[in-house]
Structure 1
Amino acid sequence: MTSATASIRGVARGGGLNLAGAVLGQAAVFGVLLLLARWLDVRQVGRYAQAYATLSLLGLLALSGFRAGLTRFVAVHLADGDAAAVRGTVRLGLAISAGAAAVLGAGLAVAAPWLAVRLHDPGLATGLRLMALTLPAATMCEAALAATRGWRSQRAFTLIGQVYEPACRLALTALLLAVGAGLTGAFWAVAGAGWSAAALALLALRARMRTLTRTPGMVAPAYRPRELFSFSTVSWLSSLSATGLIWLDTLLLGFFGSPDIGVYNVATRLVTLAVFVLAPMNAAFGPHLAHLHHRADVDGVRRVYGAVTGWIVRLSLPAFAALLTFPGELLALFGDEFTTGAAVTVVLAAGQLVNAATGPCGTVLNMSGRVAVNMGDNVAALLLNVLLNLVLIPAYGIVGAAVAWAVSLAAVNTARVLQVRRLTGALPFTRGLGKGLVAGAAALLAALAARAVLPGGAGTLVIGLVVIGVVYLAVVAALGLSGEDRMVLRSLLRRSGGGRAPAGDGGASDGGANDGGANDGGANDGGADKGGVPDAA
């Protein structure tokens, strides 16, 4: 078996676990937004989005890049058998992240009334204070889960970060809304889910730490801050820019006093459903790519990159067809007042389609050692996004914000594809991707035809979704599956059997830790509740 074939199977196994977690997590987050839209008004939904955007941005500031650094250096020190360095890395990363989060949280609590006024919504102060309470928990949870991934396992990250936290938030939100706690109750649900998830993440990390062998003379933790800080600083700037691109438009809409932030947030949630596969596939893809690059297997890099891109696109295309054909009907699920975001949904879907079609190009840059190049891309995209928002939001409101975000996203991913081509010779375009695009185009045309002849309403949406699914699957079957696709399906079906990766979940491959660093992949860059730029970090 070639390295590329083994890596494709490993990506399939790890991606299958992550994908299952992402499906459950996205369903829970979607449920939270649906509850908010049904129980509260549009203005309050926008208030929730702004508070959560603040939490996401400050959380990334507090982490200071240690998420990627913890994963990378825990994996490196484990590979070297250096238990003391593992302990020192974990303690240093957790202590600094938690301390920074506490300071930022205190600052946000004090500044909440002032910031709420600047966002033209004095009622936002309570939500900001509760986000300040949540910030240390969210930061510790992220850092602890990042450290567990250094053991080449996605299990704790998936079960706690992608499944438990959003599911707990959904349950608490439903309970508190039902007892009449309103928007304040929804904010408390974020805090409750955050702190309980942090406790579970720390317990998972503690269990991992207990597996370390206490070598004589190396019991005390060994602190190596220079290597951790040098790597984490670049990763932090890259992730900060990527998360800014995800959430800045929401805050800028508030600064310009837009009354449609809630509509914009719901529209972005719909688009998230089309691209939720990006993050779990990136999380499984990164370590295998690092392994292939470390072995100078250029053909393997090209093959795996193309295969992963093909899967991402083919899994996403039916959802894109639905978004482009039935944006108003989908938004009406949240309430008739949200249907004004139909144009926003279409614009954002176009930008995310480019994101999906270019594949995990940012992860290719990171795992091949070009972290600084990826950071430059993210900073440039953020600056372009800010400039376009400042120009377009005053004139066009939420549609202008959507155009700014879609253009920035398309531009940065196009640039990355060209950089990956120049640096590695890899392109994301394969025969499988072409087949998927043909099937997607056929499903889109069939859906447009169905909409033209049907009267409209919920019945049209249901029939249209069925038409998309049936036509898409029929065309895919008619075009046929490649041998590689069949191999991936077999790997997924044997996921719970004996064909596991050494870590137990297919989340990484041997050697991946020593070159290219952590598999951050942007999988959790504060964009879980918006969809953002899963490949940007």
Structure 2
Amino acid sequence: MTAGTEGRVERARPPSSTITRMGRGGGLNLVGAVCNQLSLFAIISVLAGLGEREVGRYASCFALLSLLGLLSLAGFRSAMTKFVAMHVADDDPRRLRGTVRLGLGLTVAASVVIGAVLALSAPWLAPALGDEGLVTGIRLVGLTLPAATISDAALAATQGWRTQVPFTVIGRIIDPVVRLVLTVAALRAGLGVDGALWALAISSWASALLALLSLRKRMRPVPRVAARYEVREIFGFSMVSWASALAATGLIWVDTLLLGALRGQHDVGAYNVATRLVMLAVFVMAPINASFTPHLAHLVHTDRREEAARAYGSAARWILMLSMPSFILLVAFSSQLLGYFGHGYRSAASVTAILAMGQLVSAAAGPCGTVLNMSGRVMLNMLDNVGVLVLNIVLNLVLIPRHGVVGAAIAWSASLVTANVVKVLQAQLVVGIHAAGAGLAKIALATAPAVGAAWLVSRWVSTWTDVVLLAAPVVVVVFFGAIVGLGLDAEDKALTRSLLRGKAFRRGPVEKSA
């Protein structure tokens, strides 16, 4: 028996094959997400030893790379996954080849042009970001941009075969680990932030090569027929998806850029240390969403709405359930956790708590934006993201001059809450897909004793090591003990068995080649 989203007790249902497949891919993605987040966390940690200003410089360059990467992709990340999944399901090799060639060709050309323009304009752009010392870093972003774009597009295409192996192994394990090793080596050699950015460039080009080889492997069995380019359909989806993704990424990074321009790189460094800590709490969101996306595209294309709703509910439930202990620890012990980076960063404790509350709402909403996109409501999702980005910019311009990093955190969290509430309502009222069986009531009930446990141990917690060795195990055991006590439904049990048996680490199910 399981508690439904409205607190009702429902009869356990047998898990669908789609849910099981999502679990296998999601399990591998979770391993990749842990590796990715720990590597990024370690990179920020070693940079933190150079001071907040140097962390700020790295963060500003990374924000620029993320925004321009989406500009180069022009929406083809989502389009590659969606249309490849459709053409594989339809056994259509002509359209499959046309989609892959069109997506890769245009994104490579765009990234090379944008990267060259960025490198040439670095002397003028660096002062606009509040630091003339960013010239070399911006030029390295221009060098890295084509590689990051190629890797994203190629790995997105491989997901169309409903396998997460290349995406996770290359994009979430090899790339961040190589980047970490090269970054540590560069810093030990005394190369500073510029050395760390060279490490980013080298690891990105290595990942791009591996991504292309992986895509080539999946295309090899496809019959060598004349490609058919569905230009209107692909561009109609990708252009709107591009604007939507650009606005969504702008929501993530605009506060970093505005902080640098309005307050300086010192504040950017403190803010991004807090942000990196919070992102550890929601590391499960990206891998579960990545596993969910190709399956949802397949279910919507084959008009299996009820199964799509159950898949959405499972994704939302697992994101929130796996994230909740981290949220409790972040809010209760933010000051102690920030002490890991040094005593100078403890002042960002309030920022960490504010950011955590915004991400908590995002976790509870689940992959609502993906539901809109994969259901063909890309225009609606774009309007949502653009509207929320405008709201975020306005709030940042008002709050940053008055409240600094705290103002940026408030602006970001308020925008994130607004975006997710609106999209959840639209997914249910416009698309007709709700998070069936999300079990939010059960998660809320399990949270109460975990919060109590955190309060009880707080008197013995004064450092980040105390949080890791004492508070974290207590909160995790109490929370998941309560979840088990309240009862797992059939889908949760099937997913758990799949993980424990190691199925998540095998190659995901692959559709018949077109």
Q: Find the residue that maps to 1:489 and give its secondary structure.
A: helix
User: Alpha carbons of 1:272 and 1:225: their partners in 2 closer, same or farther (altered >3 Å)?
Assistant: same
Query: Aligned partners of 2:143 and 2:302: how far apart in 1?
Result: 46
User: Alpha carbons of 1:391 and 1:494: their partners in 2 closer, same or farther (altered >3 Å)?
Assistant: same
Which amino acid in structure 1 is aligned with residue 311 of structure 2? V
| CA positional deviation for 1:32 | 1.0
Which residue of 2 is the match for residue 456 of structure 1?
462
How many residues in Structure 1 have an aligned counterpart in Structure 2? Answer: 501
Match of 1:241 among 231, 243, 247: 247
Match status 1:505 vs 2:511: no
| CA positional deviation for 1:448 | 2.1
Query: Aligned partners of 2:319 and 2:213: how far apart in 1?
Result: 33
Deviation per residue, 1:417-455 (Å, 9 max, x gap): 11122135544474733222222232122212321x226
Which residue of 2 is the match for residue 252 of structure 1?
258
Query: Aligned partners of 1:36 and 1:267: how far apart in 2?
Result: 14
- Which deviates more, 87-96 or 240-249? 87-96
Which residue of 2 is the match for residue 355 of structure 1?
362
Match status 1:23 vs 2:30: no
Match of 1:137 among 147, 157, 161: 147
Match status 1:262 vs 2:269: yes
> Structure 1-normalised TM-score?
0.88
Q: Find the residue that maps to 2:294 and give its secondary structure.
A: helix
Query: Aligned partners of 1:54 and 1:32: how far apart in 2?
Result: 18
Match of 2:447 among 436, 440, 453: 440
Which residue of 2 is the match for residue 119 of structure 1?
129
| CA positional deviation for 1:380 | 1.1
| CA positional deviation for 1:244 | 0.5
Query: Aligned partners of 1:470 and 1:82: how far apart in 2?
Result: 49
- Which deviates more, 201-210 or 320-329? 201-210
| CA positional deviation for 1:509 | 7.4
2:82 and 2:374 in contact (8 A); partners too? no
User: Alpha carbons of 1:319 and 1:227: their partners in 2 closer, same or farther (altered >3 Å)?
Assistant: same
2:399 and 2:408 in contact (8 A); partners too? yes
Which amino acid in structure 2 is aligned with residue 409 of structure 1? L
2:14 and 2:491 in contact (8 A); partners too? no
Query: Aligned partners of 1:145 and 1:459: how far apart in 2?
Result: 37
2:14 and 2:490 in contact (8 A); partners too? no
Query: Aligned partners of 2:302 and 2:111: how far apart in 1?
Result: 39
Match of 1:6 among 14, 17, 26: 17
2:316 and 2:366 in contact (8 A); partners too? yes
Which residue of 1 is the match for residue 499 of structure 2?
492
| CA positional deviation for 1:193 | 0.5
| CA positional deviation for 1:510 | 8.9
Match status 1:213 vs 2:223: yes
Match status 1:86 vs 2:86: no
* 1:254-293 paired onto structure 2 within 5 Å: 254-258=260-264, 259-293=266-300
Q: Structure 2: any 5+ residue segments left out of the alignment? A: 1-11
Deviation per residue, 1:274-323 (Å, 9 max, x gap): 11111111122223333443454443333332222111111000000110
Deviation per residue, 1:178-205 (Å, 9 max, x gap): 1211111101100110111111111112
Query: Aligned partners of 1:103 and 1:56: how far apart in 2?
Result: 16
Deviation per residue, 1:86-112 (Å, 9 max, x gap): 333322222221111111111111111
| CA positional deviation for 1:404 | 0.5
1:134 and 1:190 in contact (8 A); partners too? yes
* 1:216-227 paired onto structure 2 within 5 Å: 218=225, 220-227=226-233
Query: Aligned partners of 1:93 and 1:295: how far apart in 2?
Result: 24
Which residue of 2 is the match for residue 422 of structure 1?
429
Match of 2:414 among 395, 398, 407: 407
Which residue of 1 is the match for residue 375 of structure 2?
368
Deviation per residue, 1:47-74 (Å, 9 max, x gap): 0000010011111111111112222233
2:115 and 2:142 in contact (8 A); partners too? yes
- Which deviates more, 184-193 or 304-313? 304-313
Which amino acid in structure 2 is aligned with residue 158 of structure 1? T
Which residue of 2 is the match for residue 516 of structure 1?
none
2:15 and 2:490 in contact (8 A); partners too? no
Query: Aligned partners of 2:511 and 2:354: how far apart in 1?
Result: 38
Match status 1:51 vs 2:61: yes
Which residue of 2 is the match for residue 342 of structure 1?
349
Which residue of 1 is the match for residue 6 of structure 2?
none
User: Alpha carbons of 1:67 and 1:113: their partners in 2 closer, same or farther (altered >3 Å)?
Assistant: same
Which residue of 1 is the match for residue 3 of structure 2?
none
| CA positional deviation for 1:494 | 4.2
* 1:291-306 paired onto structure 2 within 5 Å: 291-306=298-313
Which residue of 2 is the match for residue 527 of structure 1?
none
Which residue of 1 is the match for residue 340 of structure 2?
333
Q: Structure 1: any 5+ residue segments left out of the alignment? A: 514-537
Aligned-pair Cα RMSD in Å: 2.4
Query: Aligned partners of 1:82 and 1:431: how far apart in 2?
Result: 35
- Which deviates more, 75-84 or 160-169? 75-84
Query: Aligned partners of 1:404 and 1:77: how far apart in 2?
Result: 41
Deviation per residue, 1:140-191 (Å, 9 max, x gap): 1111112222222221111111111111100100111112111111011001
Which amino acid in structure 2 is aligned with residue 35 of structure 1? V
User: Alpha carbons of 1:510 and 1:255: their partners in 2 closer, same or farther (altered >3 Å)?
Assistant: farther
| CA positional deviation for 1:239 | 0.5
Q: Find the residue that maps to 2:263 and give its secondary structure.
A: coil
Which amino acid in structure 1 is aligned with residue 19 of structure 2? I
Query: Aligned partners of 2:200 and 2:158: how far apart in 1?
Result: 23
Query: Aligned partners of 2:484 and 2:80: how far apart in 1?
Result: 43
Query: Aligned partners of 1:292 and 1:111: how far apart in 2?
Result: 45
Query: Aligned partners of 2:298 and 2:106: how far apart in 1?
Result: 30
User: Alpha carbons of 1:348 and 1:6: their partners in 2 closer, same or farther (altered >3 Å)?
Assistant: same
Which residue of 2 is the match for residue 530 of structure 1?
none
Which residue of 2 is the match for residue 162 of structure 1?
172
1:4 and 1:303 in contact (8 A); partners too? no
- Which deviates more, 454-463 or 116-125? 454-463
1:113 and 1:125 in contact (8 A); partners too? yes
Match status 1:37 vs 2:40: no
User: Alpha carbons of 1:430 and 1:353: their partners in 2 closer, same or farther (altered >3 Å)?
Assistant: same
Deviation per residue, 1:466-487 (Å, 9 max, x gap): 3212322332233232233212
Q: Find the residue that maps to 2:300 and give its secondary structure.
A: helix
Match of 2:396 among 373, 386, 389: 389
Query: Aligned partners of 2:453 and 2:481: how far apart in 1?
Result: 12
2:263 and 2:401 in contact (8 A); partners too? no
1:59 and 1:135 in contact (8 A); partners too? yes
Q: Find the residue that maps to 1:62 and give its secondary structure.
A: helix
